Amino acid sequence: MKNNTKRIKPALLALCIVVFVTSWSQAQNTGKLTVNARVQGSIGLVFKDNAAVGTNGFCLLTNAGTNNVGLDMGTASFTTGDTQSCVSFLRALGFYFVSSAFDVVVTKANSTSANYQLAASLSTAPPNNVFWSLNLVTLSTTFNTIQNTNNYGSPVTETLGVLVNQNVPQQTLFETVNFLATAN
């Protein structure tokens, strides 16, 4: 019996040590959090009034400085021209051409892209014998490339024009031109 007691005491001591070590090691437990984040390159497009805004050929944009602007080209007559002095008006061969220019600025962020290409399209097909153009590039309802390697951050002046045949009925023309800048 004494011998048994002598054996039990060290065993109990050893058990206490194990319990202590176990509880101590739980207090020291570690964790690992693995994080990943991806920085996405992006570009932004805004329309701005040209520095010459208000002079002939440079009408004021509404909501300038955003990517959703408006342009009022007034009332045009084959005989008397346009009611707005800011609209450029040319007449020849049974057509007249009215135009106004503005700036497009595309900026980049977190991108190594060297430059960008700019394309434009019409939202709806125009009436017969009405032709919308950007820098004399005729627009359609599919995107047409206007420029291939524009510089970021620099205003690029774009001239929106509409060619109207004199046989087009009197009406108000509404059009939305979509611009698409794509990083090269």
Partner 1 sequence: MDVSTFENGFGIMNGGFNFGKLKAQLKLVGVLCLLAASARAQSSSGQLSINMSVQSSITLIFQNNPAVGTQGFCPLTNAGTNNVGLDLGVAAHSANLHSACVNYSHISSSTYEVSSAFDVVVSKSNTSSPSYRMSAEISTAPPANVAWLINNVPLTNTGFTQLDAADTYGSPITKTLQVQVQSKVPAQTLFETITFLATAN
Q: Give yes or no for residue 47 binding partner 1 (CB under 8 A).
A: yes
CB 47 within 8 A of CB 120: no
Nearer to partner 1, 23 or 142 (CB): 142
Burial of 114 (0-12, 13-18, 19+ CB in 10 A): exposed
Least distance in Å: CB of 14 to partner 1?
40
Of the candidates 82, 111, 85, 114, the residue with the CA atom closest to the CA atom of residue 98: 82
Site for partner 1 in 88-127 (CB under 8 A): 98, 102, 104, 106, 108, 111, 113
DSSP string of 90-106, one letter each residue: EEETTEEEEEEEEEEEE
Q: Give yes or no for residue 65 binding partner 1 (CB under 8 A).
A: no
Least distance in Å: CB of 93 to partner 1?
12
Among 1-9, 14-22, 27-35, 77-85, the segment contacting partner 1 (CB under 8 A): 77-85
Burial of 61 (0-12, 13-18, 19+ CB in 10 A): buried
Q: Give yes or no for residue 155 binding partner 1 (CB under 8 A).
A: no
Q: Could you list the residues that contact partner 1 (CB under 8 A)? A: 38, 40-47, 61, 67-80, 98, 102, 104, 106, 108, 111, 113, 160, 162, 164, 166-183
